[in-house]
Chains A and B, each alone.
Chain A
Amino acid sequence: MSISVSIGLSTEKNALLAAQLAARQALLNLREPNASLAIVFSSVEFARDEILAAIADIVEPAPIVGCSSLAVISNQGIFKYGILIALFSLPEGIYLNVACSEEIDSKPALEAGRELGDKLLYGFRNIRRDFAVIFSDGLMRDGNGMLEGLQERLGTSFPLLGGSASDDLSFEKTYVYFNRKVSSHGACGILWGGKVNFGLGIRHGWKPLGKPRYITKSAGNIVYEIDGESATNVYEEYFARDLSGLQKDSKKISTLYPIGIYLPEEQGYLLRNITSIEDNGSLVFQGNVPQGSLIRLMIGTNDSCLDATKEALEEAGKNLAQRHVDFLLVFESASRYRILGRQIKEELQLIENKLGKNIPVFGIYTYGEQAPLRAINYQGKAYFHNQTVALLAAGA
């Protein structure tokens, strides 16, 4: 038996009504009368407790997990305003556990990660653990620390796919959803176990350019010096602009020219977007940049972006080894949304071309993705990424 996934979607203007409509629609099309899990993705307008409560009233006993996004991705299209509810009904032999950690900003990220890991594992004994899906606050400073904490508990190379929630690109507040509660500094997860087949695919499509350079001074996600010079110098040199010129174009630079951290053991690059260019010459990145790392400036095009989607799809498919796909979860970088612009719909077309029309596809735009760098062998260590498209194809 397969995993039954039913999607409800609404762009109705009255948010509460939209949520109810989407929930009812999803429930109506579900195989079983009751769902085992509800994943909720929505634009920020829906990030309210009463909306989650309204959904819970309809989908209970299913637990609710989800987050806000700058747009909702679905088979039916990409919606900047809207709510999507995916209901799951599981066949025998497949298990899951959901958990959430709130107020993660008030404790070290590592600690928060461990806490979430512990909660996810609670009650999950004598069952084969397959993979975890994590939703976390998109504006948290140390996403990497949380990932490490999670890995300490779940296993360093435990397959993990995570997405950092996003808002409407104002970078003010992002939200994660757990049952009847919305929290802006939270991280939630779903641990899957039993006989689930799955494949991960993650790609960015960016190519290194220019001289390799070393991070000579950094702390967490702030880089102070590159090759012994003020970090912004490198960018000033490359773009032939002074500091204020860089700051003016920071959004463009951030999305179009991220840095790539070279990981020798993986033979690949981990991308980092700049979140701000500071007056003191340091650069703040979305994700940590360890001191001593070898970095390159990265460059890409719309075509390379779309090629990455194709490759990620291939990879997820390969990992699934021809087995049946019941749903596809998409975590796509918000930067890619900006870069692709009008071509964003082509990406959905690529997915449809690969999977056909009938496989439920749903996803979010993220401020960071957590996944193994090279997922060919999914037993790889998960990293905190920027600018990627991360796919999870699963079936029973």
Chain B
Amino acid sequence: MLTFEMLTNIIGIASLLTIITLAMVIISKGERIKQLQGKIATLEKSLNEMDEQAKLIVRTDMELNKTQDELDKKMTGLYALQILSRQISTSLEESQIFKILKETMSFQELGFEKACAFLWDSLEGKFILHTDIGCLEDAAESIKSSVNSDKEKYLGLIKEAKSFSCTASSECADEQFAQEIKESFGVESFIIAPVLPKEGNQGFMLAGTKAKDTVINKGDQELISILANQLGEALENARLFEKTWRAQQELERKVTERTGDLTKALGEVKTISKRKSDFISAVSHELRTPLTSIKGYASILLAGKLGALPAEIRERLDKINRHSDELVHMINELLDIARIESGKVGMKKESLELQGIIIGVIELLSVQAKEKEIDLSYKIAEQAKFVSADREQLKRVFINIVSNAIKFTPPKGKITIQARKIDNMAQLDISDTGYGIPQEAQEAVFEEFYRVDNAINQEIRGTGLGLALVKRIIEAHNGKIWLKSKAGAGSTFSFTLPQTN
């Protein structure tokens, strides 16, 4: 039986147990809370630590980014400069240089959306805009006019050869001018650098941006200065080249002009020479006819067909006859010269053996030679035996030269004819031991009617046409004729003729 007391005891024990259990639960909960609080504290601590790390990361990242930006800018600048200098250095035309500057230089990547290059034009007394990047047409116009309305300041800048920069926030060296530049070009920050070629007009370059937060450091300024220098050098090279080129053009022009003059003069000479030949030819023909009749009548009279003549008349008639012969001879030679010159008489070229011709000539002239006891000899080299020439004309050449030699060689002299091969041509030298021809007359002896002015010539008759004719004949054979002589020491006439085998 459960008594009340028992019941109370049970309840008491139960309550006690409950209280103990509860107390235990509370104690354990408290411990867990404590544990959790500890964990939270640890978590919070690590979170804060993490946040501190985050701060470090952010700061480092910021620095890295800044460095990266600087590096990027430098790289871009250097890269652009490299391309630019490579391209500009190969260009030798001013306009081309500015075009390259515009096309290759990435000002934008350097943080400048606007760039201009001006050169001072000393003739017009104003600045000319050569490159404008990032400006519209009307903007460029207004920049031009505002630069020119303030030209003294820009000229001052060039004179001082100093670059300067200004940003929206920093203080500028020349605040007033800087402000004007900003307004003129529509920028907030800029770098301006003089372009100073040693040759010709100088100018300046400007790179600018509207961005207000732009920072321009020393590196940027250096870069633009280098660029301006490069531009200056390129312009200088182009101008020097242009100068040289111009000079050469001028020279070429003069040469062409002179050549033209000479060609014209030569043409005139040829025309005149032809007219002269034609004239001589015509006159000679006209003269020959009456001369023939004069000679004819003289011959008839001399032959006594019209009755015997007194000795005095005969003597006079002889003179007429002889002089007529000389005149005919002269006219014939003149006519020959004219014909050869005008090409009316062709050379009947054939292979001739020199020996036969020379012997024939020596025989023909042996009487005169013997009279003066002049020794006539010849020597023909093995390689110069044959020539290509007109037989009759060649004879004429030899007769002329050798008979001249006989005429002008004092008695007991010596005349030699020598043939040899020189440069695929046969060269004939006719030397004498005569009086010689003075230096000043040597060239003229081949001219028509020229006679050396000396005592012998006054005694010895001649037309002054012989050597002129000889020269024409030799030239018609594509040969040359010349002489070597010394007054009192003889002369050597030399001429060349083409050879045949």
Contacts and interface: CB of A to CB of B under 8 A. Distances in A.
Contact of A299 (B50, B61, B134, B212): B61
B66 interface: yes
Contact of B136 (A13, A239, A299): A13
Contact of A168 (B58, B61, B65, B113): B113
Given A170-B210, A252-B65, A342-B109, A299 B51 contact: no
Contacts of B109: 341-342
A237 interface: yes
A311 to B, nearest CB: 22
Contact of A45 (B55, B108, B136, B213): B136
Nearest to A302: B68
Contacts of A170: 210-212
B113 A80 contact: yes
A81 B66 CA distance: 27
Given A80-B113, A170-B212, A15 B59 contact: no
Interface in B90-116: 108-109, 113
A211 interface: yes
B312 interface: no
Contact of A238 (B48, B58, B108, B212): B58
A251 B214 CA distance: 10
A170 B186 CA distance: 12
Interface string A2-32: 0000000000011100000000000000000
A81 B72 CA distance: 22
B76 interface: yes
A331 to B, nearest CB: 22
B66 A238 contact: no
B57 interface: yes
Contacts of A297: 54, 58
Contacts of B26: none
B227 to A, nearest CB: 19
Chain A at the B interface: mostly helix, strand, loop or mixed?
A: mixed
Nearest to A17: B137
B118 to A, nearest CB: 18
B495 to A, nearest CB: 78
Contact of A342 (B65, B72, B212, B213): B72
Nearest to B213: A251
Contacts of B69: 341
Contact of B62 (A15, A168, A251, A256): A256
B108 A80 contact: yes
A169 B51 contact: no
Contact of A257 (B58, B134, B211): B58
Interface in B8-67: 47-48, 50-51, 54-55, 57-59, 61-62, 65-66
Interface in A163-179: 168-170
A211 B113 contact: no
B140 to A, nearest CB: 8
A185 B172 CA distance: 36
Contacts of A299: 57-58, 61
Nearest to B79: A342
B55 A238 contact: yes
Nearest to A257: B58
A354 B57 CA distance: 34
Interface in B317-342: none
Contacts of A15: 136
A211 B48 contact: yes
A321 interface: no
B54 A238 contact: yes
21 contacts: A14-B137, A80-B113, A168-B210, A169-B210, A209-B54, A209-B57, A210-B50, A210-B51, A210-B54, A211-B54, A238-B58, A238-B59, A239-B58, A239-B62, A250-B213, A252-B65, A252-B66, A256-B61, A299-B57, A342-B76, A342-B109
